[in-house]
Structure 1
Amino acid sequence: MIRRSAQQSEAGGRRATLKDVARLAGVSPMTASNVVNGTLKGYNDDTRLKVLHAVEQLNYRAHVGARSLRTDRRMSVGMLVVQTGRRFLADPYITNLLDGLCTGLNQRGYSLVLQGLQPDEISASTLVRHLQTDGLGILMSGDFAADSALRSTILALNQPIILFQQALQDQASDICSIRQDDFEGGRAICEHLVQRGARSIVAVVPQLDWPAMRARVAGAQHYLTHSGARARLSVVTSTDESQVATQAALEGYLSSDGKLDAVLAGNDQMAIAAYRLLSNRGLSIPGDVRLAGFNGFDFLDYFGTRLTTVRSPAFELGQLGAYHMVRRIEGGSFDNASIVLPTELMVGTTT
C-alpha cells in the first residue's frame, strides 16, 4: 500500500498551493501570501503561526521563479565584503554579522548572495555586473565616502544599499548606515584601564584600515584628551590580526625600550596573542600589564582567562540589516538613514 504524504492528503493528491495553505489556516489567500513571502504587515503573531503551521502540515513549498515574475523581485540580497586578503570568513566579526544577516533574510523568505573581494575586484564582481539581487549590503575596509571609484560604481547600480560599520555621508542616496558605537566602546575601555591604574597604554591594531578600529582608537584618545588623566596612548600597528603579526608588533615596541602598563587590542584575537607574548616575557596580567580586547564573541569561552573586552553586537547588526533591507525592498524607502547600536564593557580578570 502506498501512503500519501501530508501534502498530498490535504491537497487531494496534488502539490499544495497557497490557497490550500490559506484554507487550512482559516485566513485569506492574501494573508497567507503575506506570511509566506515575509511581508511585514497585514497580520498578527497568532495568524502568522497558524499559516506557518499549515505550511508545515501541507509541506508547502513556494515557487520562487513564479513569485519573482509576479513581484519583479529576485528574492535575494547581495553582500560584498571588501578587504585586502582572501580569508574574509576567518574574521569572527564578519562571520557573526553574516550569520545575523542570513538568519534575518531567511526568516523573511530571502536568500543571501555573498562575495568576498579585494578592492580592485569590485568592477568585475558578478553582483555588480549582473542584476541578480534586490539590494546590496557592504562591509569594507577603508572609507566608502572617500573611495570615489567604488562609490560611483555602487551607486550606479540603483539598488538599495546597507552600509555596515561605516558612518553615513550622503543623506540623499538610497543608503542605510548600520553600525555599532565603536567610538564609545574605545572611550569606555580606556577609561576603565585608567581607573585601574594604567598610565602608559599601547593600542595594537592591524594596518588594514577598518573604520571601526579607527573609531576605537579615537574614542580612547578622546577620553585621555578630555578627562585630564595623566596617561598616554601609543598606537602600534601589526601587518595583520594574526598571532604572529600581533606579537611581532608588540615585540618590536618592547625591544625599542617602549614602556607600557596596559595593552588595548583591536580585537580579542589580538588580545589573546598579546597575553601569550607578555606571559612568555615573564610579565603578569593584570599585575604588570592590564590587558583588554574588543568584541566579546563566544570563542572567548575557550580562553582560560576571562578577558576584559567590549561586546560588539555584530549578530544583531546583521539581523537589523536584514530587517531594514526587506522593509526597503517592499516599502520603497528606508525607515532610517543611520542606525547605531550600543557596545557594552565587559570587565574580566585581565585588568
Structure 2
Amino acid sequence: MSRPKSARVTVRDIAAEAGVSIATVSRVLNGGAAVSPATRLTVRQAMERLGAAVPVPVARPAGARTGAVFVRCPYLLTDYFGTLVSAVAEALDRHGRRLILNAGDAAKEARVLAGLPERRDIDGALLVLPVEEAAELAELRSRDFPFVVVDPRTPLPRDIAGVSAAHFAGARSVAAHLAELGHRRIGLINGPADWLASSSRFGGHASALAEAGVLVAPELVVNVEPTAEEGYRAAGRLLDLADRPTALAAFNDKTAAGALRAAHERGLRIPGDLSVAGFDDLYLSRTSVPMLTTVRQPLAELGGLAVSLLLRLLDGHTVEALHVELATELIVRGSTGPVPQHR
C-alpha cells in the first residue's frame, strides 16, 4: 500500500519499495549514468507509488569530473593540518585540479556536507578529521558523491574511503622503546577520548606494555585537546603524583612541548629524570632542547594518497582498498633515555 502523498518519503523508503540499494536510488535522483534503464524505471515507479516527486536530474557541466575538489579542514592550518593541506594542494595542482578550501576553527560550525552534491562547481571532496558524525558521512555517501576522509575522527563504514597513519603501530613503537629503556611507569597524554586516533594509540601503548609485563595504570592516562597548554597541564598532573611516572608519551609534539615545560618548572632533567616522547615529527620536535623523540607521520604521502584515491573514484574506477593506513617511523632523539637509577 502506498503512503499518503503528504508523508515525507526518504531515500531509504524508495530503496525498500524498489528493492534496490540506497546508492542506486541516489544515482537515479542525481542523474548518474551507472544505472540501467530498467533499474531507473523501477526506481521511478516506486517513487510514484510512494507519492514522491520525481525530480529532474541536475546535469553536471560540460567536462564533468574535471571540476574543483572541496577540501574541508575545520581547524587552524598550523603545524599538522597546515602540512597536510599543503600536501593536498600540491597534489591537486599536479593533476590540474582546482581546490576550494573550507578551513579554520570557525568552519567547525558550518554544516556544508549536505549541499555538496548539488554544487555544480565541485566534483568531489577531501574531509580532514571531519567533525561530522558518521551518520552525516553515510548520508553523503548514499547520495553517490565521491569523497575521501583523511585521518577519520570516528570509525568509518566499509564503503567510505579513508586514509590515515598507522596510529596503533606508532604508539606501540614509542611504548616499546621506553620499555626497552627500563621504563615501566609511563604516563600517556592522549588525545580526545572520542577520537579514533586516541583509542588506536591507547591500544598500541597498552599492547607494548603488556608485552613487557605491565598493565596500564588508569591514573597515568589523561585525555586532552592536543595543544601545548593542555599538554603542560596534563603533564603537571602526572608529575605531581606521589609515585610520578618516569616517562611521558604525548599525543603530538605540541603536547610533548608542554610536558617539557612542566618538567622544567619542577626541576626535572630531560632525559636524566624524565623521558618525554611526542608524535608527528613536526618542526617543533627538532627545535626543543633536547630534541624530541617522536613518531614520524608521512603527512606529504598521506595528502598525496588521499588525492590519488579521490581521483580514482572520480574516474569511476573500482577501488578495493578503501581504508588505507600508512606506516609510521619512530625517530629516537635526545629526550628519551634509560630509567633513572634511583627509580
* Equivalent in the alignment of 2:99: 112
* Equivalent in the alignment of 2:73: 81
* Equivalent in the alignment of 1:300: 285
Q: CA deviation at 1:183?
A: 0.2
Amino acid at match of 2:77: L
Quote the RMSD (CA, aligned, Å).
Answer: 2.7
Return the alpha-carbon distance in structure 2 between the equivalents of residues 258 and 325 of structure 1.
50
- 2:168·2:201 contact (CA, 8 Å) conserved in 1? yes
TM-score normalised to the size of structure 1?
A: 0.70
Q: CA deviation at 1:258?
A: 5.0
Q: Which of residues 253, 264, 267 is equivalent to 1:268?
A: 253
CA distance 1:187–1:193, change in 2 (3 Å): same
* Equivalent in the alignment of 2:150: 164
CA distance 1:295–1:77, change in 2 (3 Å): same
Task: Spell out, residue by residue over 1:30-51, the C-alpha distance to the aligned partner (whole angstroms, 9 max, x if none).
Answer: xxxxxxxxxxxxxxxxxxxxxx
- 1:178·1:339 contact (CA, 8 Å) conserved in 2? yes
Deviates more, 1:107-116 or 1:220-229: 220-229
Return the alpha-carbon distance in structure 2 between the equivalents of residues 131 and 262 of structure 1.
53
Task: Spell out, residue by residue over 1:164-193, the C-alpha distance to the aligned partner (whole angstroms, 9 max, x if none).
Answer: 12386433x3x3221111100111110000
Please give the residue correspondences for 1:131-146 in structure 2 after superposition, counting only pairs within 5 Å. 131-140=120-129
| Identity score, percent | 25
What is the total number of aligned residue pairs between the two structures?
A: 273
1:283 and 2:268 are equivalent in the alignment: yes
Q: CA deviation at 1:115?
A: 1.4
Q: CA deviation at 1:79?
A: 1.7
Please give the residue correspondences for 1:86-101 in structure 2 after superposition, counting only pairs within 5 Å. 87-90=75-78, 92-101=79-88
Task: Spell out, residue by residue over 1:266-304, the C-alpha distance to the aligned partner (whole angstroms, 9 max, x if none).
Answer: 001111111121012110111111110001123433324
Q: CA deviation at 1:261?
A: 0.3
TM-score normalised to the size of structure 2?
A: 0.71
1:347 and 2:335 are equivalent in the alignment: no
Return the alpha-carbon distance in structure 1 between the equivalents of residues 230 and 155 of structure 2.
32
* Equivalent in the alignment of 1:40: none
CA distance 1:131–1:88, change in 2 (3 Å): farther
CA distance 1:127–1:113, change in 2 (3 Å): farther
* Equivalent in the alignment of 1:121: 110
Q: CA deviation at 1:232?
A: 4.7
Deviates more, 1:211-220 or 1:178-187: 211-220
Return the alpha-carbon distance in structure 2 between the equivalents of residues 231 and 72 of structure 1.
53
* Equivalent in the alignment of 1:56: none
Q: Secondary structure at 2:315's aligned position in 1?
A: helix
- 2:285·2:294 contact (CA, 8 Å) conserved in 1? no
CA distance 1:306–1:314, change in 2 (3 Å): same
CA distance 1:320–1:156, change in 2 (3 Å): same
